[in-house]
Amino acid sequence: MKRSTGARLCAIAAVSALSLAFVTGCSSDSDEKSTDAKDSKGSASASAAASDVKALTSAELEKLLLAKGDVKGYTFDSGDDTLPKSKSAVKTDKAACDPLAWATAGLAPGDTDANASNSLTEDKTSSATASPDAADIEDAFDVSLTFVGLSSYDGDGAEKAMKTVSDGVTACASGYGLKADGEDSKVTKVASEKGTGGGDEAIAFAETVDMDGEGTATFHAEAIRTGNTIATFYTVSFAALAKGGEMDVNPAAVVTAQVAKLK
């Protein structure tokens, strides 16, 4: 990770199921047939609606990425020089961990070719003094870079992609090996955590990474689904990277602004 790399369960479901069984047991045969017919039509209609959903194109996703003026205090870059250009450049030693590695590299965590990414950096130059001292210079380099990836899916592909991320957090709890753009890294631990959230579904997780024997650093990532589009976020703090330790969490202002553009 020297460069870029990096569900809700409802108790009401049990109550609802119990209520449904009670109502069904008390209904007549004709009621059952009527209800079954309505449920069948409703399910068929919902399935048809889901299957009709088409993914946005990469060009359309590019227009939805955060840009200058969307978030105060940040500069923007296409990310072409820092992010892997394709999934083939990001490999793990556990297939279940692939979605996590892709999400932290600004790539689509699921099966789609519709993908766009950029990066945002805190702009501290505007607050720098005319004659900076050593402390000012050190502070100027204490910035964070946030990688943002957008991906879009046909049908229920986005929901399936989010499930692979959720499953990956569990399956890869003890870590995984990673090679990105020819550079090897070792993720020693993966754990779910609370992120900024938003959208229709959100999954946040932290990855602890072995820094070439110089201790470890913990990075934070988040995937948020809005309809059939998923936004991923991954932040690297240069100061923390140099010293090892805890990275900054993904800036709430950035996450919130990006999710808002997808609605």
Domain match, 191 and 238 both: yes
Question: By the 8 A CB rule, do 224 and 202 touch?
Answer: yes
Report yes or no on 37 lying in a domain.
Answer: yes
Report yes or no on 2 lying in a domain.
Answer: no
Report yes or no on 7 lying in a domain.
Answer: no
Reported as a single tens digit per residue, the pLDDT across 144-153 is 899 999 999 9
Cα distances from 260 to residues 65, 99, 257, in angstroms, run 11, 24, 5
Domain match, 77 and 20 both: no
Report yes or no on 146 lying in a domain.
Answer: yes
Query: 84 versus 1: which is more confidently predicted?
Result: 84
Question: By the 8 A CB rule, do 183 and 202 touch?
Answer: no
- For the ranges 66-80, 89-103, 107-121, the lowest mean pLDDT is seen at 66-80
Domain match, 216 and 125 both: yes
Report yes or no on 1 lying in a domain.
Answer: no
CA 122/CA 76 separation, integer angstroms: 9
Q: Is pLDDT at 29 greater than 50 in this prediction?
A: no
Reported as a single tens digit per residue, the pLDDT across 95-117 is 999 999 999 999 999 999 999 99
| 199: containing domain | 56-261
Domain match, 25 and 94 both: no
Question: By the 8 A CB rule, do 207 and 105 touch?
Answer: no
Give pTM, 2 decimals: 0.77
Domain match, 45 and 61 both: no
Number of structural domains (the chain) is 2
Domain match, 201 and 107 both: yes
Report yes or no on 5 lying in a domain.
Answer: no
pLDDT of residue 39: 52
Domain match, 233 and 140 both: yes
Domain match, 30 and 95 both: no
CATH code, 104: 3.40.1000.70
Report yes or no on 119 lying in a domain.
Answer: yes
Domain match, 152 and 76 both: yes
Domain match, 151 and 29 both: no
Domain match, 36 and 128 both: no
Domain match, 75 and 119 both: yes
Contacts of residue 146, defined as CB under 8 A and 6 or more positions apart, other chains included, come to: 119, 120, 121, 233, 234, 235, 236, 250, 251, 254
Report yes or no on 3 lying in a domain.
Answer: no
Mean pLDDT of the chain: 79
